[in-house]
Amino acid sequence: MPKETMTPRERWLAVLRREKPDRVPMDYWATAEATDKLKKHLGCRTREQMLDKLRVDYPVTVGPKYVGPKLPRMTDVFGCKYRNVPYGEGEGAGVYREVIEHPLARFTSVEEIEREYTWPSPDWYDYRAIPNQIKGKEDHPVRGGGSEPFLIYKNLRGQEQAFIDLVENPEIVHYCLDKLFDLAYENTRRIYETIPGKVTITYVAEDMGGQTDLMFSPRQIHTFLLPRMKRIIDLAHENGAYVFHHNDGNCRRILPDMIAAGIDVLNPIQWRCPGMEREGLKRDFGDRLVFHGGVDNQYTLAFGSVEEVRQEVLDNLRILGEGGGYILAPCHNIQPVSPPENIVAMYETCYEHGWT
């Protein structure tokens, strides 16, 4: 086995800069339950010990401490109330938080929202702890700042109503997204200001794709999302950070527009969705995008054999990794139904065959 000559941070930066790393970097996304199973399987006490054992080049995520008004139990800063919803059985069981109270659902006009709702302030956060969050972890890439406002908007209005609003109440969508993007922008700016030059990637996300096609029309994406996302993208680039764009499902139709807006990395590469085939993505966008993810969660990691996992990793290295521009990871959070043996096989295979 060749000897490593780069730190995880250097490895990520080499890929992001279109330079040659010593090997393909690896990242980790998983639910808490899946992580606990994997820690037990590997005999590790902490998440960091587990990731180091698997040689994962994980980013360190930084963010401010909330110091604003006291929040009721199971309620977030936007006033959305949650409950824990169990799913699965046996070793595949877990818990997700789901919103049960949407604080803006009852409003029918911008005027009502302005009169009765209080938006969170960036002053409700203390940014002074951020430098300590990267202390001792300087060898890792740093993820900080970013936005995913339509996700928050859906929580504020309710899933169905949020999509109806795009057609029937565009003035409410514009008003709320302006507020949410302004908060995300200022939060991101303050993070950069606190640790200047230290943020490697900024997470600019929006789930636009379903299993077979976009959930929004391209016109809606251009009307409501892209101009606002570009503000965050430009801010990231002005501060030396690369833009990590998360977009689930089949989002292929909007990728040229996202690239034009300035995204640098595309995640999670759900290649089993029709239209998201790896060969086509690499052929059409590989000179302009770094691909992150690509190891399938819908079948391979969850229900496939160890050999199928190994083969898929080899396929990803061959297709997405051709000529560089690839960071291996699962194509979303690993679920507890996934056998630990499959997860280990994913990282062991990439480490064995991902040298460049």
Tokens 């002074």: give the residue: 128
CA distances from 30 to 36, 51, 180 (A): 10, 12, 27
Q: What's the pLDDT score for residue 286?
A: 98
User: Which residue has 């999302």 as its token pair?
Assistant: 225
Return all residues near 36 (Cβ < 8 A) that are at least 6 apart.
Answer: none
| DSSP assignment letter at 91 | G
Run of H or E including 146: strand 142-147
Residue 1 has pLDDT above 90, yes or no: no
Q: Report the SS3 class of residue 144.
A: strand
pLDDT digits (tens, 9 = 90+) for 113-152: 999 999 999 999 999 999 999 999 999 999 999 999 999 9
Distance CA 47, CA 35 (A): 7
User: How far, CA to CA in Å, does 299 sit from each of 35, 102, 213?
Assistant: 19, 33, 19
Strand 65-66 to strand 125-126: parallel, antiparallel, or no bridges (unpaired)? antiparallel
**CA–CA separation, 248 vs 325, rounded Å?**
19
Q: What is the mean pLDDT of residues 22-27?
A: 98
Mean pLDDT confidence for 18-28 = 98
- Considering only CA atoms, which of 355, 286, 354, 351 is closest in space to residue 325? 286
- Under DSSP, the state recorded for 203 is E
- Single-letter amino acid, residue 97: R
| pTM of this structure | 0.97
Q: What mean pLDDT is reported for the chain?
A: 97
**333-346 confidence digits (pLDDT tens):** 999 999 999 999 99
* 154 pLDDT tier (thresholds 50, 70, 90): very high
91 pLDDT higher than 90: no
CB count in 10 Å sphere of residue 266: 22
Q: Count CB neighbours of 308 within 10 A.
A: 16
Residue 172 has pLDDT above 90, yes or no: yes
Structural domains in the chain, CATH included, are 8-71+116-353 (3.20.20.210)
94-101 and 81-87: which strand pairing? antiparallel
Q: The tokens of 258 are what? A: 């996202």
User: What are the contacts of 210-213 at 24+ separation with CB within 8 A?
Assistant: 210/249, 210/250, 211/249, 211/250, 211/273, 212/249, 212/250, 212/273, 212/274, 212/275, 213/250, 213/253, 213/275
What is the amino acid identity at position 218? P
Rounded to whole angstroms, the Cα distance separating 201 from 340 reads: 28
What's the Rg (C-alpha) of the chain? 20
